[in-house]
Structure 1
């Protein structure tokens, strides 16, 4: 397995069991609906961002969660979600420039902890492919809904991911202001909203921070301009602090390059501080 040293075992102090790395088993469904399975060490290089759902969402009378499908502008594909919490994170991922594809219920991972006979299995919520080729496996679960057995599964999945160089994240409920702003902006995510002459005018206007509505009016009729402005914010071509408050006429809009420069400066300052 080029690029990785597949160790003979994986240990997580958080759950206290020793699992042979070779014992991790993976199942997934390809784009044609065919089930494939094999040792994780032999399957990890699969393009899981193009996989089908290995697990379908249940539907029954009295159901309290709200499953559905979300059209991802990033890939032009429908991606499943099983709750409003998952939908919030789908929108967040879809708006991030470094994300190129997201797959729901991408694979089922199973393992036998210690000397137990029964295998434990877990299906992560999402597989995320970044623009640089790296990957993130994502589980969405509110903090107050994590049972001990869930924590065990998350820890084992994180350990398996670490062996092959994937990141693993367990995320909870999105900040409500961020979630509300993403819901609004997602209505303008489709490329058909973009009108390039208007987009060019907006980029020229917002070379410095300016109020959202004032900047839109400087380009033209807000009825025609605002949808394009919201699209550019969604695509991160213009920058807004989406956690500072709900979008309004007075929201400050800045060039994305200024935000990137600030982030780079903060990172450099942090590195200098660590270096001492």
Structure 2
């Protein structure tokens, strides 16, 4: 960082919880050297009667372990992150960013830290755009400034397209490696080398009870593809993805 950037960065400090559960504090300029994908969440995901949001845990195919979320909107974003083939790691509630405004201490924990192929970073907050208040805007602006200093991308995602969410959620049901059968997968890749209706291709390979889980797993892995902006159905046109080489899960 330049001298001017270091001066701005000195406004911030950061706390995170390492893989061993130890809370650590660092200067902002040191954060890029921390393996945040291995960090534990800085806050918990409590569940109680009358709660207005819906926290939980999602098994990430990218990470091979559970990742927490605080709302259904966050869950939808987490599934989208997990589905993205360029994502190599994700962590939820990865750190506290702390700063002062007119002598008043503020802090904010972004919802997700995302590492992508090539080493780039996306820091993400999930919030329906019509529920962003003044305090949120201040926190998001501070987080944007901190990420800019680190050379990281920062974004606030709102509610996603309902059809895309439903399709990705369906495919996520088949993300686990147990859904894979390599013998069936090889036949499906061959059958869908030419675009074909989903169920027609599944039936050509065998009993759909056995072939559909593998087909959906291959779609999750981006080895087979369909237009997910349209409702996924037995008539959806499926084809082998260009350059399909498989991915985790």
Please state which band the TM-score falls in when normalised by the shorter chain: over 0.9
Question: Aligned with 1:257: secondary structure?
Answer: coil
What is the 5 A alignment of 1:110-259? Answer: 110-113=98-101, 116-244=102-230, 246-257=231-242
Structure-2-length-normalised TM-score: 0.93
Matched residue, 1:85: 73
The one of 4, 8, 26 equivalent to 2:4 is 8
List gaps (5 residues or longer) in structure 2.
245-249
Structure-1-length-normalised TM-score: 0.84
Once the two structures are superposed, residues 219-273 of structure 1 have per-residue CA deviations (whole angstroms, 9 ceiling, x without a partner) of 11111111000001111111111112x21110011221089xxxxxxxxxxxxxx
The 10-residue stretch of structure 1 (158-167 or 223-232) with the greater mean CA deviation from structure 2: 158-167
- Root-mean-square deviation (Å): 1.6
Detail structure 1 runs of 4+ shifted over 6 Å in the superposition.
none
Displacement of 1:209 in angstroms is 1.2
In 2, the alpha carbon distance for the partners of 1:77 and 1:217 equals 33
In 2, the alpha carbon distance for the partners of 1:6 and 1:89 equals 34
Matched residue, 1:33: 21
In 2, the alpha carbon distance for the partners of 1:221 and 1:9 equals 61
Matched residue, 2:93: 105
Cα gap change, 1:172 to 1:7, in 2 (>3 Å): farther
Displacement of 1:89 in angstroms is 0.8
List gaps (5 residues or longer) in structure 1.
11-18, 260-276
In 2, the alpha carbon distance for the partners of 1:102 and 1:49 equals 6
CA contact under 8 A between 2:47 and 2:54: conserved in structure 1? no
CA contact under 8 A between 1:31 and 1:50: conserved in structure 2? yes
Displacement of 1:155 in angstroms is 1.4
1:56 maps to 2:44: yes
